[in-house]
Structure 1
Amino acid sequence: MPSWSKITLKVLGILIGLILLIFSALALYVNSNKKSLLETITQKLNKNLHGTLTIASMEPTFLRGFPGVSIKLNNVVMKDSLWKNHQHTLLDAKELEVSVNTLALLKGTIEIKKIGINDAAIYLFTDSNGYSNTAIFPKKDKSKKPKDDNSSSPELGKFTLSNVSFVVDNQKGHKLFQFDIYDLKGNMDYLLLGGWEADIKLKALAKSLAFNTRRGSFIKDKLLEGPFKITYNDDSGILLVAPNKLNIGKDPFIIGAKFDTSKENTDFTINIETKNILWRNASALLAPNITAKLNMFDLKQPIHVYCTLAGNMGPGGDPAINVKALIKDNVLTTRGGVVEDCNFTGFFTNNYIKGKGINDENSAIKLFSFKGSYAQIPFSIDTAFINNLNKPIATGLFTSQFEIAKLNNVIGEEMLKFGNGTANVKLAYRADIVDFMLAKPFVKGVVDIQNADVSYVPRKVNFKNTAISLNFTDQDLYIKNIRLQSGKSIVSMEGSVSNFLNLYYTNPEKVLLNWKIRSPELHLEEFIGFLGTRKPKAKKRSKKSNFSENLNELFEKSQVNMNVKVDKIYYNKFLATNANADLLLSENGIAIKNVNVKHAGGALSLNGSIAQKGSTNNFKLNATITNVDIKNFFYSFDNFGMKTLTSKNLRGYLFSKTNISGVISDKGNLLPNSLYGSIAFDLKKGALISFDPVKNVGKFAFPLRDLDNISFTNLNGKFDVRGQKITINPMQINSSLLNMDIAGVYSMSTGTNITLDVPLRNPKKDAEITDKNEKRARRMKGIVLHLLATDGEDGKIKIKLNRNRDKTK
């Protein structure tokens, strides 16, 4: 072995031996002076404390602190001076390890380089008056310099915590922070200009992070794991936590913070960011009052969230919370439905208006560039705003353009079924929110529908190429530019509803829609579905009713006031022109007012009502007929159910006043025997053409007279209609064939009983008489036949001599 190697080994051996000798001497010294050292350490640690620190026992643990000296302190208890009043121990540690500087120890002084706390409880308590047990540590007077090094507080280089319960209980500020620290390791470096830096690694369970115990805890029962880099400045009292990764539960966060300890209650700001967290995982980290509201929603894909908490440790209540969330290509689930392809930037604050407090009432949510697809209907909201989460109110501008058939996915197909066509929507809305669903929204804007095919299912009415423009004001609804086409009918409409949205949600039966309806050509048979009962009936509104059910109920219960002007109206054989009418449609039926039409060369006017009962419609009409061609009139109304007397038998111009009621089926047919009322008529320039009952009698009694064309100078009378039977009030008939007096009952089935007094005198003989009295006196001169029209065995009317009548009359 070279000589230099031998010398080196000898030197190393001597050094090792010297170190072992010194360490052994130290061990011997510590063991020999346990009591005095414990007193020295206790005295050092108690120096300048406003309270007491007690240590039950001390044991050297040299190997742990080699080459320094490590001491294990057992059952270390730290209490402030007012402990007896509040009974909250600041520190109760089963084991506290202290590592001291060896050279300083030899000089008789204690310089602590490392401290470890194991199996301990740390409880920082502040009572309702603001007193804290941390008052055990005196505040430094920055204006005074320490007299000597020995008077300064110990400086720590490293510290560890293992199995430590850490609690901050601020009863004045209603704050409770509680952590079970599984493992914490930190290194501290002291700065020349004052203050320190620390690198910390933490693994702990958050039992409570309640900034307001009346609201509940954030991140409750979540595992925290990650590093911190902390800087503290003595002069400013600012403690900074540099942004770094911290796992909360299974989700990674970037967290930074600032604490201003120079103020009495310590202001703080905590910045939190996570780029990939599920909605429900994020909501579970918040206080229960916020979580309960957020859980009414859900987002399928993870989101990017920024959050800032700002407040103080005093009695300031909740911290100010500001959140920014980025949602992209996501699926939003709400109580009102599912929004696909959802994109928006969202902001939340619980301090919307400065000075009005940090609370739900002063909270707000803003959603920018909100785009999505609801039931395959794309839409966008430039800015959606929700304020006052205690009684939420939502506002925003909703726009959408879509194929109208997609509305079937929203409102179903029980009321309206849409086919072709497009819709453009631009609505500003304001609505209350109940359980985070829009309630009683007030909207302002326009809905335009073009080229739409629509079926009104309850009435089985179909429209083609429909156009509608809905203009919502603050309270009222104006409906313009409506074009409906059903078969051959084309209808143009415009209307309005006053106080529409308020009544829609509260009293749909009070909604009154005022319509102006114009049409060049209307075929009533295409709207015959309105005569039947709505099928299915609308469901009664409840808290669980959806939009479709509410709209269906509105259609059934609301009233519609129509002013109608139609150039031509067709119904079966009936044709009317220049029609004008006022109609009131309600749940109970139709009120008919001021109806005027041109028909058969004359005019008809009427008022009345139609009441719907099941599959039938009871109607009441007061009608006035002026100068109507009676042939066309009877033809248009299928001879009013009569088979013997038809339009083929009649000529002349009819004037009439009718008060009548009856029943129409849901197919639009007049039910037999349903007519009741009275008909007063005046037939001018009338004629009876080829009327078989008259011809059958006349060919024997008046073979030389014209029986095929019997003209009337003026025929008037009154009929009382009672179902199958028509009572003919006594009336005179003066015709070219003969004169007669007639009275009795005409039956559409059986029971006809009509008396006829017929003078055989030829009326032409009196044609030249101008004196009305003389003409009236001669009218019944000569032979008078007393006839009776009754039912024949073959079902036809038979005329025979009335043998029971007084022949002298």
Structure 2
Amino acid sequence: MKKNYTKAKNYWQLALPRWGRIVVRTILGLLLIIAIAYIGLAWYINTHKKEVLASVTSSLNDGISGTLTIGGMETTFLEGFPRVSFKLQNVVLRDSLYATHKRTLLTAGEAEVAINTLALVRGAIEIKKITIINAGIDLFTTATGYSNSAVFAKKKKPAKDSKGGGGFPELRKLGLYNVTFTADNRKTNKLYKFKISSLDAALNYNSDGWQAGVNLEGMANSMAFNTQRGSFIKNKTLDGRFDITYNEDEGFLTFDKNRLDIGGERFMIAAKLGVGESSKFIIDIENDNILWGNAARLLSPNITSKLMMFNLASPIAVTCKLDGDFNSSGDPLIYVTAKIKDNVLTTPGGDITQCNFTGIFTNNNVKANGFTDANSAIKLYNFNGIYADLPFVMKQAFILNLEKPIATGDFTSNFQMQKLAALVDDDLLKFTKGTGSVKVNFKADIVNFKLAKPLVSGLVAIKDANVTYIPRKLDFKDISVNLNFNKDDLYISEIILKSGKSIVNMQGSIKNFLNLYYTDPQKIVLEWKINSPQLHMGEFMGFLGSRQKAKAAIKKARKGNFTDDLNQLFEKSNVDMKLRVDKLYYNHFYATNAKADVLLTDNAVFIKNAGLNHAGGTLLINGSMAQGNVNKYKLNATVSNVDMQKFLYSFDNFGMEALKSENLKGYFSSNADVTGIIDSNGALVPKSMYGTVSFGLKKGRLIDFEPVRNVGKFAFPFRDMKNIEFYDLKGKFDVKGEKVTIHPMQINSSVLNMDIEGIYSFGRGTQIYIDVPLRNPKNDKEITDKEELAKRRNRGIVVHLKAEDDEDGKVKIKLGSKKE
């Protein structure tokens, strides 16, 4: 063996020069010295644990204003070689005012501290690494502004050539595992709470400060800039890396842009946080592929609740900037941008497809007014899409003041009228032709996500449209209309409406239209000016009677509330019309130069100062009609000098079965104050009339009237009872349903004179008393003195007759007088 050692020694001497052998021997010597020193150090620490623990505790307490207590310590050498590591148990750090607020800054079940071995040999403690495990860090600020972070005294800035020395400034590594971090600021109502599963940080120092690389896994339990509004990213996981630079002169931590996964969503985040005297921060967040709902749920509840009323089907690109002060009360600046392209936007009013816009949210719309909901705004630029098959463009649309939201913007759309079927139910309005265009600016309050008190300026134009109003079965052809919105008023012009043979030109206005449309449609009054060269009233009888009910369940499922609102508008609004018609037709009725003031409400029609030329005379009418299951009318009419035959024919003989238009000729005048019922087809309901009618007939002739002929056969067989001329006939009737009370009336004719009174019934109950002087009126034809005629009228025999029903309900004439 000695021989082998000698050979190896000789070989080593031959392989290395003399200086090389000296270097190797030196290195081996140094290693041996280090090993002996390290073993000695281990022996020293193990035999002087109390002294070393006291030194570590003293070093950690250096520069703090409070108490740091360590329950126990164990030494590990190989884990941190060549450094010496200490495992500290039950570490508690409290500030000097703990007894007042009872909030412990640090409670750690275990902490590992790695120190500089050479410094320890010199008798100094230089901490290079700290690892904290199973701990709670509670940074607490009272309502008066005191913080338990005051435990850390302000350190003096080291000299530029300093390599560091003593305490925390040269900390190289930091690890946190299963650590809860809380920052509770009661003065500014802020609460930040994070559960840190693992955090590994490596620090490098330079003359300006230090740089660090940090890897983080954890969860944000609370990030409330204002506890009254709730937390951002509440209970969202965090996973990512931070590259941090600290500049001691500026007093800011700068976070380079890096990826951070929040709640499973991939974000790129950069930030700048003030430390020390400054507590300002700026955080920039980006995500180019996130769903609307996922993004909204990362924000505070006061914002999330509003955003979740909407949704976007496909991912969007968003950015968010937070700019504030950790020590200030209230929210930071929040500035969010979003780019939406070819998406589907779901709103409370329906879906918008092919949706594109650039969106901005800010809580500091007016810079001088602070960061509040009242100063918040949602701004949409170049907003376009398709809503209910209608394409539209909004160059800009803003929602301002989220406490009392106000919507402003512009709206443009061009469309085929048939496309409105997707917006308005076809059991209300059915469009089959025409084009429409909308170009308006608007401003409106938003109450429960519905517009209220809107102000609109702009034009809605409809050209050559065909539409059917289904509930009343009304068809309109070739409609053209311009709707001119002037803030809260609506002006309607250039309407040309055709329905069957009718042609109507209309223009009108509605004061305070949009406000009442959304809030109180029954108060809407449409002021119409209507002119027509010819109007056939029968084509508009759909306005009489009850409306057909829309299919509400289907309607709401498909169209939201727009059809409901429109339906309410049609039925609840009032129409005040100034009607002028050159030619007016209704069944057998024909008139010219018709004029009327008509008020239509949701359940009634009122006619005032209606006048027209008819049958060679004039009619003046005032009245009303209450609509419902039956249509009750009230009429006050004055008829002047109309052709009696044409008049009766026009009104279907007023329901009389015995007296027809062909039985009477002459010029008729009358005053009528009556009520009655009109059916849904516009026909007078027989036996429904009540009221008083007075009349006068000049140049009258009674032609072939059967009841009179029957009297003639009985009493005057030799007189012409088929063609009787009347002289200034006057009378008064009280109408009560099927019965007409005839006031005492003198009839002076060419054939005979009669005195008539009694009751005529359209059913049963006719009882008319007729006194007929037998004297032939022709005998007194030459007498012109009225008093003399009156004396001669009843000379001679007077026959008393009675007209009443027989068993078959037919009117029969027999002898009888009222005295019987």
With structure 1 as the length reference, what TM-score do the two structures score? 0.89
Is the Cα contact below 8 Å between 1:538 and 1:549 reproduced in 2?
Answer: no
Distance 2:155 2:818 in 1: 137
Q: Structure 1 residues 55-64 or 487-496, which shifts more?
A: 55-64
Aligned-pair identity (%): 54
Distance 1:122 1:795 in 2: 107
Whichever residue aligns with residue 583 of structure 1, its letter is V
Tell me if 1:367 matches 2:380: yes
Structure 1 residues 693 and 355, CA gap change in structure 2 (3 angstroms)? closer
Match of 2:5 in 1: none
Tell me if 1:239 matches 2:250: no
Tell me if 1:355 matches 2:368: yes
Match of 1:483 in 2: 496
Tell me if 1:536 matches 2:549: yes
Distance 1:625 1:67 in 2: 123
Whichever residue aligns with residue 586 of structure 2, its letter is Y
Structure 1 residues 792 and 221, CA gap change in structure 2 (3 angstroms)? closer
Match of 2:408 in 1: 395
How do 1:202-221 residues align onto structure 2 when only pairs under 5 Å count? 202-221=216-235
Distance 1:151 1:794 in 2: 131
Match of 1:29 in 2: 40
Is the Cα contact below 8 Å between 1:30 and 1:37 reproduced in 2?
Answer: no
Tell me if 1:673 matches 2:687: yes
Structure 1 residues 25 and 89, CA gap change in structure 2 (3 angstroms)? farther
Which of 556, 563, 583 is 1:568 aligned to?
583
Tell me if 1:419 matches 2:426: no
Tell me if 1:179 matches 2:194: yes
Which of 598, 604, 617 is 1:602 aligned to?
617
SS of 2:682's equivalent? coil
Distance 2:692 2:92 in 1: 111
Offset of residue 241 of structure 1 = 0.6
Distance 1:656 1:314 in 2: 90
Offset of residue 127 of structure 1 = 3.2
Distance 1:475 1:322 in 2: 33
Match of 2:176 in 1: 161
Match of 2:317 in 1: 304
SS of 1:296's equivalent? coil
Cα offsets for 1:351-408 (capped at 9, x unmatched): 2223333222222221222223332233232222222222222222233223334434
Is the Cα contact below 8 Å between 2:464 and 2:479 reproduced in 1?
Answer: yes
Is the Cα contact below 8 Å between 1:146 and 1:152 reproduced in 2?
Answer: no
Distance 1:227 1:59 in 2: 32
Offset of residue 52 of structure 1 = 4.3
Tell me if 1:96 matches 2:111: yes
Measured on the aligned residues, the alpha-carbon RMSD in Å equals 3.5
Gaps of 5+ in 1: none
Distance 1:619 1:32 in 2: 118
Distance 2:39 2:769 in 1: 152
Which of 295, 305, 326 is 2:339 aligned to?
326
Offset of residue 246 of structure 1 = 0.8
Q: Structure 1 residues 138-147 or 504-513, which shifts more?
A: 138-147
SS of 1:257's equivalent? strand
Distance 1:6 1:279 in 2: 78
Tell me if 1:639 matches 2:653: yes
Is the Cα contact below 8 Å between 2:521 and 2:568 reproduced in 1?
Answer: yes
Is the Cα contact below 8 Å between 1:272 and 1:308 reproduced in 2?
Answer: yes
Structure 1 residues 626 and 330, CA gap change in structure 2 (3 angstroms)? same
Match of 1:119 in 2: 134
SS of 1:635's equivalent? helix
Structure 1 residues 561 and 92, CA gap change in structure 2 (3 angstroms)? closer
Cα offsets for 1:643-670 (capped at 9, x unmatched): 3332222222112222233222222222
Structure 1 residues 89 and 679, CA gap change in structure 2 (3 angstroms)? closer
Whichever residue aligns with residue 270 of structure 2, its letter is G
Match of 2:241 in 1: 227
Is the Cα contact below 8 Å between 2:349 and 2:560 reproduced in 1?
Answer: no
Is the Cα contact below 8 Å between 1:268 and 1:312 reproduced in 2?
Answer: yes
SS of 1:65's equivalent? coil
Structure 1 residues 779 and 48, CA gap change in structure 2 (3 angstroms)? closer
Is the Cα contact below 8 Å between 2:748 and 2:754 reproduced in 1?
Answer: yes
Whichever residue aligns with residue 342 of structure 1, its letter is C
Whichever residue aligns with residue 190 of structure 1, its letter is Y
Is the Cα contact below 8 Å between 1:179 and 1:206 reproduced in 2?
Answer: yes
Distance 2:163 2:659 in 1: 136
Cα offsets for 1:134-182 (capped at 9, x unmatched): 3343324459789996568651333332233333333333333222222
Structure 1 residues 717 and 152, CA gap change in structure 2 (3 angstroms)? closer
Distance 1:217 1:552 in 2: 43
Offset of residue 460 of structure 1 = 2.6
Offset of residue 640 of structure 1 = 2.3
Which of 699, 706, 717 is 1:685 aligned to?
699
Offset of residue 498 of structure 1 = 2.8
SS of 1:116's equivalent? strand
Distance 2:362 2:757 in 1: 90
Q: Structure 1 residues 41-50 or 598-607, which shifts more?
A: 41-50
Match of 2:751 in 1: 737
Structure 1 residues 86 and 741, CA gap change in structure 2 (3 angstroms)? closer
Distance 1:45 1:198 in 2: 21
Match of 1:618 in 2: 632
Distance 1:654 1:5 in 2: 155
State the aligned residue count.
800
Structure 1 residues 65 and 633, CA gap change in structure 2 (3 angstroms)? same
Match of 1:768 in 2: 782
Distance 2:210 2:309 in 1: 46
Whichever residue aligns with residue 485 of structure 2, its letter is F
Distance 2:104 2:157 in 1: 29
How do 1:698-713 residues align onto structure 2 when only pairs under 5 Å count? 698=712, 706-713=720-727
Offset of residue 183 of structure 1 = 1.9
Distance 2:807 2:318 in 1: 96
Offset of residue 270 of structure 1 = 0.8
How do 1:442-453 residues align onto structure 2 when only pairs under 5 Å count? 442-453=455-466
Distance 1:60 1:772 in 2: 147
Is the Cα contact below 8 Å between 1:393 and 1:433 reproduced in 2?
Answer: yes
Structure 1 residues 612 and 129, CA gap change in structure 2 (3 angstroms)? closer
Tell me if 1:746 matches 2:731: no
Cα offsets for 1:228-275 (capped at 9, x unmatched): 11111122222211111111121011111112336x341111111111
SS of 2:653's equivalent? helix
Is the Cα contact below 8 Å between 1:111 and 1:154 reproduced in 2?
Answer: no
Which of 718, 726, 751 is 2:740 aligned to?
726
Is the Cα contact below 8 Å between 1:257 and 1:269 reproduced in 2?
Answer: yes
Match of 2:535 in 1: 522
Offset of residue 693 of structure 1 = 4.3
Offset of residue 785 of structure 1 = 4.6
SS of 1:285's equivalent? coil
Tell me if 1:556 matches 2:571: yes
Match of 1:342 in 2: 355
Q: Structure 1 residues 623-632 or 765-774, which shifts more?
A: 765-774
Whichever residue aligns with residue 497 of structure 1, its letter is I
With structure 2 as the length reference, what TM-score do the two structures score? 0.88
Q: Structure 1 residues 237-246 or 359-368, which shifts more?
A: 359-368
Cα offsets for 1:491-522 (capped at 9, x unmatched): 22222233334444454433333222221222
Whichever residue aligns with residue 722 of structure 1, its letter is K
Structure 1 residues 53 and 520, CA gap change in structure 2 (3 angstroms)? same
Whichever residue aligns with residue 288 of structure 2, its letter is K
Whichever residue aligns with residue 63 of structure 1, its letter is L
Q: Structure 1 residues 241-250 or 407-416, which shifts more?
A: 407-416
Structure 1 residues 672 and 58, CA gap change in structure 2 (3 angstroms)? closer
